[in-house]
Amino acid sequence: MPAGEKTEDATPKRRRESREEGQVAKSQDLSMAFTLLFSFIVMFFLIDSMIGDIMQFMTRFFTDYLTLNLTANNFHTLLIETIKFVVQLVAPIMIVTAVIGSAVGILQTGFLFTPKVLQPKFNKLDPISGFKNIFSKKTLVEFLKSVLKIIIVGTVAYSAVKNKLPNLILLGRVGLDQALDLLGSIIYSLAIKISIILIILGIGDFIYQKWEHEQQLKMTKQEVKEERKQTEGNPEVQKRIKEEQQKLAMSRMMSDIPDADVVITNPTHIAIAIKFDIETMEAPIVLGKGKGEIAQKIKEKAKEYEIEIVEEKPLARALYAQSEIGEEIPVELYQAVAEILAYVYQLDAERRY
């Protein structure tokens, strides 16, 4: 496998940087298809009202405006009225288009604000790179998708019109109102079918965009290694830091051993240093624990400070597995540890007297 081949999944950092650049998986076809569908639905419910408004405006136009003298002031009034009418007429469709387009976009990418996208990129003005993009894989895929959409939509449209052909033939034999109603129903039915087909194609396109985006985000092993160095530091440095931290923790633990009341052992492999102060503690705490070489050092420190060493294999194993340094011993071990502490306190009392 070539060293530079991108085989590794993108890291969270790579994904975050890609998102900040505005590089996300998104299907424009899917947004357009939903927008088209809801636009036709809105038109279906508003078409009668829209036609009525158009007829009223046209009546007023031909009866009022055409009789006015063509002056600058009258022309300005006519222009403003026309613009207001057109805006009011298409406003519901434009609002629905904006809302649906935004909603579908958010569903695909989540809330996304990328100021970097607004920054000018002069490399896009490079004619050589622009020429290469014309023959890129992405351009070819987009071309094939467009051809596929044209074929599928054309087939659906042809099939729908063919099925409605007998009704279309009747258009010349019925009144104008009936003809308009019939033609409108045919167009609306065809528009809904095409919109649904485009939504299905859009979903397929979104799946492809997700896959392609993941492929673009993939990284080489070297890139992953370099990023890990940047975020976590050099592995060798991290290893040395960890070793120093372990040494510091060991030194701190060994400095607490002289305060222990007893050291419970395995007897050779495990050692746990226990302390209990009835006035300040609710339960005995573990001052230190260790296996192997560390256990040996704990016992040596205990002998140096004349701390009692008690051999209790099952208890030593349980304490080592269930307790942590600086924390209280588990409740289920209270009785066993209390018996050992009582034994140690008795020995201390006997030594004094």
Instruction: Identify the band that residue 268 occupies on the pLDDT scale cut at 50, 70 and 90.
Output: confident
Query: Parallel, antiparallel, or unpaired for β 308-311 and 262-265?
Result: parallel
Instruction: Identify the band that residue 65 occupies on the pLDDT scale cut at 50, 70 and 90.
Output: low
Share of the chain above pLDDT 70, in %: 86
Rounded to whole angstroms, how far apart are CA atoms 304 and 286?
19
Instruction: Identify the band that residue 193 occupies on the pLDDT scale cut at 50, 70 and 90.
Output: confident
Nearest to 49 by CA among 84, 99, 88, 94: 88
Tokens read off for 10: 């993108």
Q: Which residues contact 329 (CB under 8 A, 6 or more apart)?
A: 274, 283, 284, 285, 286, 319, 322, 323, 337
Nearest to 324 by CA among 277, 276, 288: 288
Please give the residue that has the higher pLDDT: either 176 or 91.
91
Q: Is residue 252 helix, strand or coil?
A: helix
6-41 residue pLDDT tens: 778 888 888 888 887 878 888 888 888 899 889 888
How much is the average pLDDT of 83-99? Answer: 89
Neighbours of 194 (CB within 10 A): 20
Q: What are phi and psi of 277, to 5 degrees?
A: -125, 110
Q: Which amino acid is at 219?
A: M
Rounded to whole angstroms, how far apart are CA atoms 170 and 178?
10
Whether residue 122 is predicted with pLDDT greater than 50 in this model: the reply is: no
Instruction: Identify the band that residue 152 occupies on the pLDDT scale cut at 50, 70 and 90.
Output: confident
Tokens read off for 283: 């339960």
Instruction: Identify the band that residue 240 occupies on the pLDDT scale cut at 50, 70 and 90.
Output: confident
Please report the pLDDT score of residue 19 as a whole number: 83
Please report the pLDDT score of residue 111 as a whole number: 79
Please give the residue that has the higher pLDDT: either 98 or 268.
98
Rounded to whole angstroms, how far apart are CA atoms 352 and 149?
98
Average pLDDT, the chain: 82
Q: Which of 157-171, 206-220, 335-349 bottoms out in mean pLDDT, i.e. has the lowest? A: 157-171
Rounded to whole angstroms, how far apart are CA atoms 38 and 203?
16
Q: What are phi and psi of 305, to 5 degrees?
A: -105, 15
Please report the pLDDT score of residue 21 as a whole number: 80
How much is the average pLDDT of 160-167? Answer: 75
Please give the residue that has the higher pLDDT: either 144 or 1.
144
How much is the average pLDDT of 252-273? Answer: 91
How much is the average pLDDT of 240-266? Answer: 88
DSSP for 23-75, written as a single string: -----HHHHHHHHHHHHHHHHHHHHHHHHHHHHHHHHHHHHTGGGS---HHHH
The pTM is what?
0.54
CA distances from 121 to 21, 116, 186, 291 (A): 12, 10, 47, 61
**Helical H runs in the chain?**
12-20, 28-63, 72-109, 115-118, 127-134, 137-163, 165-169, 176-217, 221-232, 235-256, 293-304, 313-322, 334-352
Please report the pLDDT score of residue 327 as a whole number: 92
Rounded to whole angstroms, how far apart are CA atoms 100 and 94?
10
Instruction: Identify the band that residue 353 occupies on the pLDDT scale cut at 50, 70 and 90.
Output: low
Please give the residue that has the higher pLDDT: either 184 or 128.
184
Please report the pLDDT score of residue 120 as a whole number: 54
How much is the average pLDDT of 185-205? Answer: 87
How much is the average pLDDT of 252-280? Answer: 90
Whether residue 91 is predicted with pLDDT greater than 80 in this model: the reply is: yes
CA distances from 149 to 91, 229, 303 (A): 29, 47, 86
Nearest to 251 by CA among 301, 286, 322: 301
198-213 residue pLDDT tens: 899 999 999 988 998 8
Whether residue 265 is predicted with pLDDT greater than 90 in this model: the reply is: yes
Handedness of CA 268, 270, 275, 276 (dihedral sign): negative
Domains of the chain: 12-228 (no CATH), 253-352 (3.40.1690.10)
Please report the pLDDT score of residue 135 as a whole number: 59
